[in-house]
Chain A
């Protein structure tokens, strides 16, 4: 394995939540992300899975620089991305980009596709008309559209085409990491496979590293090299996709895998009921992950819990 491109070290994100009543007493801190550490290698696709509200999107926002972490450090090529020496928005732009879930809300309805792609180029010093035209045309072809279509407005495209444009915008500055925030869950089932294959092709073509956030486990299984399972702000299990899908160890992961509506998986993993909802305002301290197989880690408290059950 090569040196990690992105390292996340003990990331905590807490949000103040206003209390109730006229005086707003009882202000509390919601622990959205609670001690998450991981690394992402060049050319790797790492998925974060978990239920809504488990903190996976918040973790991604911190990496994007859209949400300042409360604690912890994020490093890109060894350089801190947080704290006083954090890079500016401009410097960060060439490192990490994002593809959003909703292709309808992710494109400015008042700008042509051309402008959405040319403006960032101009901002980053590519001012020559011919060069930006070449790059936009090449990128439009890479995502399966024609260069001529760049002159249109977003509402002239279908959902799948819009998602392709969203991907093109994420790649226009040639970033090294692309965060995929539920990249296909808003799309028709018939379009999903196309977009997934496009993402895999682009990963090979540009040597991209993907950090994918999803709760669609069939997509995760298809795309990921490694999978991290998050539950109530903590990582509960992490391993290669084979380890997670073939031998899930944490009871929550087992429940997730057992819930995939796919005949191939049906009945393969027996899942015992798992009810362990920690208090999000005062969660238990994060314990260490235990390695149960090479590269396959599981949270210890859960092991004990599983043993008890």
Chain B
């Protein structure tokens, strides 16, 4: 029961965030940037402004909908970059072994030893703020766990009969990796990517909160929190709703990842009853 509940709630929350992001232009009653009106600033939630307004009088609800676009883009794109890097390095290291394996394993351990947010901060400092550098920074810093999992899965799959059979049938190494090994380790990789999306959304919020992510006046959940910190006592809704959005979407990604792991793992066994 728990398994289905995890998956269902995770899928529901994730779908909600995706719909919010995709349908923002139609769902949002106000423009997130242009509809600023100082006369109606810091209004508490009411019938017109569902989540209240911020210091510039912009509708918090509309800004959260548009912010979902940023969070989703960051979550998905950075995880795709992470997965591609992690799988490429891990699979080749596990398959070929030798000095390449030593090099990749060493690099992975170094990456694991550096706090990824600090490393992302350093990358952002070099590239400058903005969405593209945010994607690059988060995409380059979180591949180590994916890499480790890809490597260990490859090591165990390599000794399976069908991989050896592919070698004797004349398959090239790359063909073996893509047709025999990769499809059989997609489960754990997918789970890692989904779980990573949650942490990427959090990292985006943290970097934007520090002023390195999305630049004002464009909305992202992290930068909305930054703006809200001065108003925490006067207008708590300006902080509460973006915080809630981050909380629910991260929860959704994590539950989805957990649920996927639970439902995919039994299928990963090569020996089926």
Contact surface of A with B, Cβ cutoff 8 Å: 64-66, 88-93, 96-98, 100-102, 104-111, 116, 119-120, 123-124, 155, 166, 169-170, 172-173
Among A105, A108, A109, the most chain B Cβ lie within 10 Å of the Cβ of A108
Q: Which residue of A lies closest to B184 (CB)?
A: A110
Residues of A within 8 A of B175 (CB): 123
Please tell me if the beta carbons of B272 and A98 are within 8 angstroms of each other in the complex.
no
Bound complex: CA A172 to CA B171 (Å):
14
- Least CB distance, A82 to chain B, in whole angstroms: 15
Taken residue by residue from 154 to 166, chain B's Cβ proximity to chain A (1 for < 8 Å, 0 otherwise) reads as 0000001110111
Bound complex: CA A245 to CA B225 (Å):
84
Bound complex: CA A92 to CA B169 (Å):
8
Bound complex: CA A102 to CA B162 (Å):
10
Please tell me if the beta carbons of A90 and B170 are within 8 angstroms of each other in the complex.
yes
Give the A-B pair count, Cβ closer than 8 A: 78
Decide: A173 near B169, CB < 8 A? Known: A100-B164, A110-B184: yes
Please tell me if the beta carbons of A105 and B271 are within 8 angstroms of each other in the complex.
yes
Contact surface of B with A, Cβ cutoff 8 Å: 160-162, 164-172, 175, 179-180, 183-184, 270-272
Decide: A105 near B179, CB < 8 A? Known: A98-B168, A173-B169: no
Bound complex: CA A106 to CA B163 (Å):
8
- Least CB distance, A180 to chain B, in whole angstroms: 13
Among B168, B172, B179, B183, the most chain A Cβ lie within 10 Å of the Cβ of B168
10 contacts between A and B (CB under 8 A): A89-B170, A89-B172, A90-B170, A92-B168, A98-B165, A106-B162, A108-B162, A108-B180, A169-B169, A170-B165
- Least CB distance, A135 to chain B, in whole angstroms: 14
Bound complex: CA A120 to CA B164 (Å):
13
Residues of B within 8 A of A109 (CB): 184, 270, 272
Among A64, A65, A98, A109, the most chain B Cβ lie within 10 Å of the Cβ of A109
Please tell me if the beta carbons of B160 and A155 are within 8 angstroms of each other in the complex.
no
Please tell me if the beta carbons of B161 and A106 are within 8 angstroms of each other in the complex.
yes
Please tell me if the beta carbons of A124 and B170 are within 8 angstroms of each other in the complex.
yes
Decide: A97 near B169, CB < 8 A? Known: A66-B164, A106-B161, A109-B184: yes
Decide: A92 near B170, CB < 8 A? Known: A104-B270, A108-B184, A109-B272: yes
- Least CB distance, A100 to chain B, in whole angstroms: 4
Among B161, B162, B166, B169, the most chain A Cβ lie within 10 Å of the Cβ of B169
Q: Which residue of B lies closest to A94 (CB)?
A: B170
Q: Which residue of A lies closest to B172 (CB)?
A: A89
Among A89, A155, A169, the most chain B Cβ lie within 10 Å of the Cβ of A89
Residues of B within 8 A of A104 (CB): 270-272
Residues of A within 8 A of B165 (CB): 98, 100, 106, 166, 169-170
Please tell me if the beta carbons of B169 and A105 are within 8 angstroms of each other in the complex.
no
Q: Which residue of A lies closest to B182 (CB)?
A: A110
Residues of B within 8 A of A169 (CB): 165, 169
Bound complex: CA A90 to CA B167 (Å):
9
Known pairs A97-B169, A172-B169; list 20 more (Cβ under 8 Å).
Answer: A89-B167, A89-B168, A89-B170, A89-B171, A89-B172, A93-B169, A102-B161, A106-B161, A106-B165, A107-B162, A108-B180, A109-B184, A109-B272, A111-B183, A119-B179, A120-B169, A123-B170, A166-B161, A169-B165, A170-B165
Please tell me if the beta carbons of A97 and B168 are within 8 angstroms of each other in the complex.
yes
Bound complex: CA A111 to CA B160 (Å):
14
Bound complex: CA A102 to CA B272 (Å):
13
Please tell me if the beta carbons of A105 and B270 are within 8 angstroms of each other in the complex.
yes
Please tell me if the beta carbons of B171 and A100 are within 8 angstroms of each other in the complex.
no
* Residue in A100, A111, A123, A173 whose CB lies within 8 Å of B161: A100
Q: Which residue of B lies closest to A116 (CB)?
A: B162
Closest 9 CB pairs of A and B: A106-B161, A93-B170, A100-B161, A110-B183, A90-B170, A120-B169, A108-B162, A155-B272, A105-B161
Residues of B within 8 A of A172 (CB): 169
Residues of A within 8 A of B166 (CB): 108
Bound complex: CA A88 to CA B167 (Å):
11
Bound complex: CA A68 to CA B97 (Å):
16
Residues of A within 8 A of B183 (CB): 108, 110-111
Bound complex: CA A81 to CA B179 (Å):
27
Bound complex: CA A105 to CA B175 (Å):
19
Residues of A within 8 A of B179 (CB): 108, 111, 119
Residues of A within 8 A of B172 (CB): 89
Residues of A within 8 A of B169 (CB): 93, 97, 120, 123, 169, 172-173
Bound complex: CA A96 to CA B167 (Å):
11
Q: Which residue of B lies closest to A98 (CB)?
A: B168
Q: Which residue of B lies closest to A119 (CB)?
A: B179
Q: Which residue of A lies closest to B171 (CB)?
A: A123
- Least CB distance, B182 to chain A, in whole angstroms: 9
Residues of A within 8 A of B167 (CB): 65-66, 89
- Least CB distance, A81 to chain B, in whole angstroms: 12
Residues of B within 8 A of A170 (CB): 165
Please tell me if the beta carbons of B162 and A105 are within 8 angstroms of each other in the complex.
yes
Residues of B within 8 A of A106 (CB): 160-162, 165
Residues of A within 8 A of B168 (CB): 64-66, 89, 92-93, 96-98
